[in-house]
Amino acid sequence: MDVVPALAPRRKAIIDGMRAIAPLIVPGLPFGLVLGVLIADSNLVDNLAGWSSSWIIFAGSAQFAGILVLQAGGGLLLTVLTIIVVNARHVMYSAALAGRYAAAPRWFKIVGPYVLVDQAFAVADQLPPNTGLEYRMWHHLGAGFTAWTLWQSWVAIGIFAGASIPEEWSLDFAVPLLFLGLLVLVLRNRPAIVAGLVGGFVAVASNGFPSRLGLLIGGLAGMAAGGIAEWLEERRVTQ
């Protein structure tokens, strides 16, 4: 008899998480469509394998970067390094939220980070500090798996639609557009702005490098610049 009442707070937290992330995830869904088209057009793997890679990685920018490096003839090591650099921001997300989930059960510490994408972090970070752990956990899962479901659906649509898109409809413009959109999402403070501008400039300047090496170089430059900017800002505040 107590099962239904016990589930009610969880259900509310899940629904609240779904509602909170919807305005953030919907504008990014067309990029999932473009990623699906790119997977279908790359001929690197069959469509099902390409789609399943999206389940494993669940990081659109990293998938884009990895596909571009492979298409340009980059080896497996360079591809993995590029994906790690592009996804490095997720380490900062985890560190920023670690204290709020310190008492969470082990299963959540395994599942929760899997859906910690940019938008899910923004939603989790906006919850009041006094939010209860139970509510915070299910709110995050509601937000994260809503993003996951919508993203995978649009990637699948892009994969199946890719075969019907004429070759003369070049989608090269869509890749820089994706990264521009992601850049706008993370420009929330001075170190992030410095990292984005430096990383973007270096990536563009090194665009002619073989095997899309410019993506890796730009990512490393952005990380270094952002780290220095954050150190300088913390030093200025403490003085």
Inside any domain, residue 193: yes
Q: Are residues 154 and 191 in the same domain?
A: no
Q: Are residues 48 and 141 in the same domain?
A: yes
Residue ranges making up the domain that contains 214 = 187-239
2, pLDDT greater than 50: no
Q: Are residues 195 and 161 in the same domain?
A: no
Inside any domain, residue 178: no
Please, which pLDDT band fits residue 5 given cuts at 50, 70 and 90? very low
pLDDT the model gives residue 191: 66
Q: Are residues 159 and 200 in the same domain?
A: no
Structure tokens at 141: 């899962």
Say what the alpha-carbon torsion angle 12, 95, 194, 189 is, to the nearest 10 degrees: 40
Inside any domain, residue 177: no
Please, which pLDDT band fits residue 223 given cuts at 50, 70 and 90? low
212, pLDDT greater than 60: no
Inside any domain, residue 198: yes
Q: Which of 34-43, 47-56, 131-140, 150-159 has the highest mean pLDDT?
A: 131-140
Inside any domain, residue 182: no
CA distances from 202 to 11, 64, 124 (A): 46, 18, 31
Q: Let me know: does 86 contact 219? Beta carbons within 8 Å.
A: yes
Please, which pLDDT band fits residue 100 given cuts at 50, 70 and 90? very high
Q: Are residues 236 and 211 in the same domain?
A: yes
Q: Are residues 78 and 109 in the same domain?
A: yes
pLDDT digits (tens, 9 = 90+) for 115-173: 999 889 989 988 998 999 999 999 999 999 999 999 999 989 888 876 665 555 555 55
Inside any domain, residue 84: yes
pLDDT the model gives residue 33: 83
Cα angle, residue 69 at apex, residues 67 and 74 outer, rounded to 5°: 130
Inside any domain, residue 14: yes
Nearest Cα to Cα of residue 146 among 9, 11, 2, 19: 19
Inside any domain, residue 228: yes
Q: Are residues 132 and 200 in the same domain?
A: no
Of 27-31, 74-78, 189-193, the poorest mean pLDDT is in 189-193
Sign of the Cα torsion 137, 138, 144, 148 reads positive
Q: Are residues 19 and 94 in the same domain?
A: yes
Please, which pLDDT band fits residue 38 given cuts at 50, 70 and 90? confident
Nearest Cα to Cα of residue 81 among 206, 212, 172: 212
Q: Are residues 222 and 143 in the same domain?
A: no
Task: Report, as an integer, the average pLDDT of 12-23.
Answer: 93
Structure tokens at 82: 């590029």
Give me the number of domains the chain comprises. Answer: 2
Q: Are residues 193 and 164 in the same domain?
A: no
Domain boundary among 170, 197, 217: 170
Q: Are residues 154 and 121 in the same domain?
A: yes
Q: Are residues 25 and 108 in the same domain?
A: yes
Domain boundary among 138, 170, 202: 170
pLDDT the model gives residue 90: 82
